Structure 1
Amino acid sequence: MTQPPVAYPCYRHPATATYIRCQRCGRPICGECMISAAVGFQCPECVSQGAKQTRQNEGPYGGERSSNPSLTTIVLIAINAFVWAAISATGGALSRLVDTLALLPVGRCMSVSDARSYYPEAGAQACRLMADGSWQPGVAEGAYWQLITSAFTHIEIFHIGMNMLALWFLGPSLERALGRVRFLAIYLISALAASVVVLWLSDPSSSALGASGGVFGLIGALLVLAYKVHGDVRSVLIWLGINVVYTFIGPGSISWQGHLGGLLGGLAAAIIVVYAPRAGRSRVQLLGLVGLTALLLALTVVRILQLG
């Protein structure tokens, strides 16, 4: 037999009986004290405490909400466009900027007289003794900047166009959800992870460039975010699948290693940001992202020692 509900005196008005309890602390509250919340009702003290703990402009995963969620994406696109314009103005595929900015696991001996040619068998010392030789260092020889600059380097207009279009569709929505600093951190870590996987899994004599590693990282971040909020994960997986298929059957030489690295980096960074506990969230996120970056740099050092 079901027992009838028991009325308790309101904790603020003992003379008033009530069947309602605060959803946060459980204290009985009467109609005068109850304040409507997202779920049920809360007492005035819990509402006041919650207002103190939550900053008005705080995003769902910490940090301040971006006043213009498109700004970071616009800046990233502008940097890519500027580098592409500089490469186009200095010879396109034959521009020395490509050799300087693109990811070269090991250095090359370039021909001074013919920018299309290089001497694959010549090492650094032999190259410097050649009248037609010009040594272009790779990551193994200290060109560490290539780990990041390669993510802002494009030659073909179709290549930069596709990458920037994807960045424009993904960037603002993710920055709106994650905040500017966290969004940028995930993008750059994804680009670094793409370079690290290229170092390990690609032919050391090959080169890689393009923003697709960072873009794949944003797809990974979107997947994590959709799963966290119980969103439409299936549509993200379909989009990811289409890009994976294009990676292997698309025209030209597409670095599946860079795409894989970017995706894994974006997944890992987004998990750190999105699933950090509320208590000390910013500290956990910072330590997690710094630790992930340190791991990627450690893998880079190990690979450089192998290539050396």
Structure 2
Amino acid sequence: MNNYLSITQRLNRVQIMFSKSVMTGTYQLLFLLVTFIAVPAFAADPQHENETTVFDKTFSWQAMGGMSGIYQQSQLKGVKPSEFEDYLNISLLLDVYYKGFFIQSNHRRSDAVTLGGEIGYELIVKDNWELDIITKTYVQGYQPRELIKNSDLAIATLAGLQERDSGEGLGFRYSHFYEDAILSVDVAALITDGWVADIFYSKLLPYRNWDIYLGVGLTHYSAQVTDYFVGVNKDEVSEMRSFYKPGSSYKAQLEVFARYPISQKWSFNGGITQSYYSASYNNSPLIGQQHLTQVMLGVLYVF
């Protein structure tokens, strides 16, 4: 789901989602462990102030700021970008590692800026595979009132619809490392209800100074997840919105993401992602299209 909100509204939305995630059971414990262990260690160890190597065996960090132009279609019927802010994305990517605990962004995917970072702990680490416990956003939420407010046209299918919170998940990730590729498998329970299984394969194809990543993914959403985000319950039925209770669904993705160094600190980033949703998702009266395209072009600065 894509939200077309102003930058201030997006930042407020992130703060709300983060608060809900952190204050929920195991999410809170995981975040506190990372906060009280990793952050004080960084503050008390000045020799790492200029460290830029991510994921060494003790402590490391890296911070990056990005600005990009982005075109992204929305699945929701009637929702289209209408303002300058809808095409602009400003992001802060933070990687922190301390004795197995980590906060990280996915540097191989162009949609990392929309789904945010990941918090986790390494359970098992081998030469060519790894098992982690991880929490991240698996499905973007949406606020019907804000979408209607920021739209140039009325959106009858969203009028009176309840807010959908972001799908924050807690689960396990298995990663297998090849010479120039990574295969990752996530299985996670969402705080909104239900579970998600996500498989993604990323292949690096170096070309001169370019790092080009080819990715393919498949995500399975349980019936509870599909129903929460695109279902219509009895209290939400209207003249333009019939009752809809879907079963499980899936999303297939193809992606090309590229990075080119401009200088020691700056790099150019670009990517295109094509997503396809199954009929169970697409048949909802809230959904307008089954195929989605996202294009991103921008720059990234390493602090």
* Bigger Rg over Cα: 1
Q: What TM-score do you get using the length of structure 2 for normalisation?
A: 0.25
The answer to which structure has the higher strand fraction is 2
The answer to which structure has the higher helix fraction is 1
